[in-house]
Structure 1
Amino acid sequence: MTDARRDPGRVRHKWLELDGMRVFYREAGRRGAPVLLLPHGYPCSSYEFRELMPLLADRWHLVAPDFPGCGYTDTPDDFRYDFDGFAGFLEDFAEKLGFGRFAIYLHDFGSQIGLRLAIRRPEKIAALIIQNGDIYEDVLGPKYAGLQEYWRNPTEEGRRKIADAVSEEGFREEFLNEVRPELAERISPDLWKLHWSLMDDRRRGIAVDVIAGLRENVGWFPRYQQYLRDHQPPALIVWGPQDGYMPEESARAFLRDLPKAELHLFDGGHWLLETSLHEVAPLIRGFLGRVHAA
């Protein structure tokens, strides 16, 4: 009997070869069960989903890869480190594992990467779980102000400020990001300590390039919105409003294009699975049980 059948809630840590690159991913649940694909955000990795996966693995097959240049996956020289490149990677990864239709979790950078995949392969998308992912420019939070200034005037000084934020202290700020002190106590320093320890000069340069290039991604926002309007995928929106990048207004904006979506706001922030896991997981379970179950 396989580990997945003996103990479906146990997270398994695996590697595969993809286009000459060694890819790390976490997996839980039984192969053949309905799939939930879990692309991570910045500055994180599949570690983001380590506690959610066991809570759903009795009914779903959960898979969370580390993107190239992130976590334990390789950092190949010939990879295209932008949102199109990451979306292509995610598509190839899903094909390699033989996924048919799947639900996808959209969070942080993973939201735009996942939506680019959805635009490419709409027939693959069974449902969306949307959590603090931004695709509406008019409701971006105040922490975007520095980046918006850089987009208007992309100077070397502005790029240096971005580079300064790609640091251990910058990672800490990204993970704590506006939550009240008593909620910050729930966010383990393992998050920024681990992910900073996995950075080197090459990865740091990639991160700076991706952040500096976010203006191009914002240009895609109308395309993401059009996909939602055209396809109306079943959607669950779970959101932590204590988020300087993506406040409550960013969550409610999704209802413009997904008026039938379920929206739930929590006493939490950008990393909702760290602060509110046991409130969020039952909602995901109920939602997937209605729209994406065997």
Structure 2
Amino acid sequence: MNGETLHRRIDVGGVDIFYREAGPPDAPVLLLPHGYPCSSFEFRNLLPRLGDRWRLLAPDYPGMGYSDTPEHFDYSFDGYAQLLDGFVRALGVERFVLYLHDFGSPIGARVAIMQPERILAQIIQNGDIPYEDALGDKYAEIEKSWSLPEREMRAEIGKAISEDVFREEFLNDVRPDLVPRIPPDLWKLHWSLITPRRREIAIDLIGGLKANRSWFGAHRRYLREHHPPTLIVWGPQDFYMPEKSARAYLRDLPAAELHMLDGGHWLLETNLDEVVPLIRDFLDRTLC
């Protein structure tokens, strides 16, 4: 059925990957790389809402969600991008729209840079931005750890790998009246999937934000040179990515369509009924 969500597994380079899928197999593809500390679970409500017209693919990264946690894997933004590239190739997908949210933004953007001609369009929703001067105040707490010796930095980051902090990450900076819209399943489920090995992987990824800064220029250059059709939907109640973060994209994508909604970092939980028609309209106009 077109709107039905299917739950599948696929081998990608020797790694067992879990993914969610909806939509006709011959429809235009919307690729959904997830954020942190989440998984493809974040797209569970979006898939059936768009699966009548488009094929949606939402994989779990290695070491997250229901995918395998191989001992030998490059648990970095580069490593995840290579995995995501292998995922679309394994499924025979040649062109696709990218949905960029949270950590899925630097991962998905790396895939776009590999072969820009594959990207039909992009939807950016509170994605980790490539503009240092437009980051939210909360990023300063992460940056403080970067001056520490490696061992101390990892210990400091490790303090943030807890159920209480996961809850804080999902509630983020939304107004009290929006909090009841965010289900505790988000932090309860994803905390239950943490193992000692996965905790170290999370530390690697968060610590990798420092090295990721050197990649910002390449990301901005890609946007400037290839100007993919872009829809920006943003929840400004976000202590990592406030309103100024969304507007920063307009420096390199002046033709992008920007919608500022009354929500926060996890718009698909709080503002799904607003996001869906914006995406449908954008895809109808862009892919016709």
Interval containing the TM-score (normalised by the shorter chain) = over 0.9
List aligned pairs for 1:1-294, cutoff 5 A: 7-133=1-127, 134-154=129-149, 156-293=151-288
- Retained in 2: the 8 A contact 1:14–1:27? yes
2:195 alignment partner AA? D
1:216-258 Cα offsets, whole Å, 9 max, x none, are 1121111111000000100000000000000000000000000
1:99-136 Cα offsets, whole Å, 9 max, x none, are 11100100000000000001111111000000111221
TM-score by length of 1: 0.96
- Retained in 2: the 8 A contact 1:187–1:274? yes
**Structure 2 Cα separation of the partners of residues 213 and 30 of structure 1:** 37
- Retained in 2: the 8 A contact 1:103–1:292? no
- % identity of equivalent residues: 62
CA RMSD in angstroms comes to 1.0
Q: CA deviation at 1:18?
A: 1.7
Query: Equivalent residue for 1:4?
Result: none
1:175-199 Cα offsets, whole Å, 9 max, x none, are 0011111111100000000001011
2:123 alignment partner AA? I
Q: CA deviation at 1:284?
A: 0.3
- Length, aligned pairs only: 287
- Retained in 2: the 8 A contact 1:171–1:196? yes
- In structure 2, runs of 5+ residues without a counterpart are none
1:44-79 Cα offsets, whole Å, 9 max, x none, are 000010001111111100000000001000011111
- In structure 1, runs of 5+ residues without a counterpart are 1-6
1:123-177 Cα offsets, whole Å, 9 max, x none, are 1100000011122111111111111112234464443221011111111011001
- Retained in 1: the 8 A contact 2:178–2:263? yes
**Structure 1 Cα separation of the partners of residues 266 and 29 of structure 2:** 22
- Retained in 1: the 8 A contact 2:34–2:103? yes
- Retained in 2: the 8 A contact 1:159–1:212? yes
Query: Equivalent residue for 1:3?
Result: none
**Structure 2 Cα separation of the partners of residues 213 and 61 of structure 1:** 32
